[in-house]
Structure 1
Amino acid sequence: MPLIDSHAHLDFYNEDREAILRNAYAAGVHTIMAIGIGEGPDEMHLALDFANEPSSPEKPKIYASAGIHPQEATKATPEALAKLSALAADAKCIAVGEIGLDYYHVENPLPPVQKEAFIAQMRIAASARKPILIHCRTSELATPQAKAKFGTADAWEDLLDLIAEHWTPHGLGGIMHCFSGTPEQGRRSVEAGFYLSFAGNLTYPKAQPIRDAALEAPADRILVETDAPFLAPIPLRGQRNEPAYVVHTAAALAELRGISHEAIAELTTENFHRLFPTTA
């Protein structure tokens, strides 16, 4: 059973994108969700451009998302949001994201600005009837400057509160991308209608809370991803990540849950198609 990489930034590969895609297919990764955030709203169409290119028997199927990352929340102008609405209407754009909250970098917009952009994009996704892809990063491990800026604000609590008010009632669900929360946050995410997608950091020695959450997560709510070109899994940590390497994360998740590689591939593929039925 082939694997699906549920989150990869294909626009970060320039000269060797074709080779990266062929590597993925050869490794058994036959579907990729290309994330459309670019370096800001001006580039969030790129993933959809890739998804709409002619298919090839030696490359994975590509589906796209589009969204404004919380780091770029100040750029969520009416014009940018109108562009997102137009992208979200395309059949190959199957999700809005990655969107959410990020209180990690000192240069990030203040919480009220991030929240406004997040709510606006949830409204667009609800109108388009598309799931959302969530990015959530707290200031817990941030620099002292970021901690001073964001204070006691908790990105997870703020995120889940906003989701409960503005998203869960629509019943459209979504993905907690690169899930790095606690088991409790995983439970609350599942209750809110989300799937938990695990990336290469699942394999890192200090990631026991993530592994605990991955072990506890319901079988019908787990996915795997690379977040390529970031977070290469062990044994490739430190290298540039690519979609082919999702096989290592899938293997680690299979071992953690005590099932075969084939079973984790079948399970995560079924889960992806359930959330995105037009991809089946």
Structure 2
Amino acid sequence: MTQTETTTPPILVDSPILVDSHCHLDFDDFAPELDEVVARAQRAGIARMVTICTRIRRFAKIRAIAERFPQVYCSVGTHPHQAGEERGIPAEEIVALANSFDKVVAIGECGLDYFYDNSPRDAQEEGFRAHIAAARETGLPLIVHTRDADEDTAAILEEEYAKGPFTGVLHCFSGGRALAMRAVDIGFYVSLSGIVTFKKSQDIRDIVADLPADRLLVETDAPFLAPPPHRGKRNEPAYVVHTHRVVAETRGLDEAESARLTTQNFLRLFNRVPAPEGFEAAA
């Protein structure tokens, strides 16, 4: 154990084993109480968390958090909002960083965001394709951010997949049915955040009801998008239980069965992450 690493607190509630496949523990929102945020998640039954890199140049901070907490893993990548700021980073550099630390379990997040357009669209596409090349080279899953860019996202994924296979996930899914199904057709997963719990999100719940069971994940995208009863407040990994409950209801599953399913899907996709102690996969 390193000097900064903490021991894993016990799960203190009788709850299913869950994971938070996407959160941002390096954000300043968590700095004053990061230890307690991670401990609360563990007490709520969240046995694994993936803290996501949004700036490759700040990867050292992400790595330090994953080193500190045994149940936290991480990714390496540049968010489309920062694609202009970090333009020109080659796939080879992403691969080298991914291979430098055994708790890197994914590439990204990367992709296209035409809602905010914080970076030039050509820079977003360049970065997206570089991350895909890194995912293909490492065999690690690609974490895709897409907003108001369904057609271009699907087209790039399909075009790149034709060059050589890779896998990944549409994180914090808020797109249309066609995007979800086209992604699933090339072996991708779809991850649901607090958005799926919002009253206005019936269209997304309708898509969730029809997706293959073995392609569903849950996440918080914390500190954003807190589900009820925490809507409007800072989100945190412990709150994934509320998102998971809505996904289970939407699929017509009891919570234990749904938890086993989504955790099993997570471990299949993020195959560098060891199964939590006590987790039993479905037969």
CA distance in 2, matches of 1:85, 1:77: 16
Q: Name the structure 1 match of 2:62.
A: 47
> Do the aligned partners of 1:36 and 1:48 also contact (CA within 8 Å) in 2?
no
Match status 1:11 vs 2:22: no
Query: Could you tell me the TM-score, scaled by structure 2's length?
Result: 0.86
> Do the aligned partners of 2:87 and 2:123 also contact (CA within 8 Å) in 1?
no
Which of 90, 110, 114 is matched with 1:103 structurally?
A: 114
Q: Name the structure 2 match of 1:152.
A: none
Which of 241, 245, 248 is matched with 1:247 structurally?
A: 241
Cα deviation for residue 54 of structure 1 reads: 5.6
> 1:69-127: per-residue Cα shift (whole Å, max 9, x none)?
11111133445765433221132111101100001115x22322211111112112222
Q: Which moved more, 1:167-176 or 1:16-25?
A: 167-176
> 1:3-29: per-residue Cα shift (whole Å, max 9, x none)?
000000000111100000000000010
CA distance in 2, matches of 1:189, 1:79: 25
Q: CA RMSD in A?
A: 1.7
Query: Could you tell me the TM-score, scaled by structure 1's length?
Result: 0.86
CA distance in 2, matches of 1:159, 1:10: 26
SS at match of 1:185: helix
Gaps of 5+ in 1: 56-60, 139-154
- The amino acid across from 1:5 in the alignment is D
Cα deviation for residue 53 of structure 1 reads: 2.6
> Do the aligned partners of 2:151 and 2:179 also contact (CA within 8 Å) in 1?
no
> 1:136-183: per-residue Cα shift (whole Å, max 9, x none)?
011xxxxxxxxxxxxxxxx11111111111136533311100011122
* Number of matched pairs: 256
Q: Name the structure 1 match of 2:158.
A: 164
Which of 26, 30, 41 is matched with 2:43 structurally?
A: 26
State the percentage of identical aligned residues: 41
Cα deviation for residue 68 of structure 1 reads: 0.5
CA distance in 2, matches of 1:112, 1:44: 24
> Do the aligned partners of 2:150 and 2:176 also contact (CA within 8 Å) in 1?
no
> Do the aligned partners of 1:65 and 1:94 also contact (CA within 8 Å) in 2?
yes
Distance 1:177 1:79, change over 3 A: closer
Match status 1:91 vs 2:119: no
> Do the aligned partners of 2:23 and 2:222 also contact (CA within 8 Å) in 1?
yes
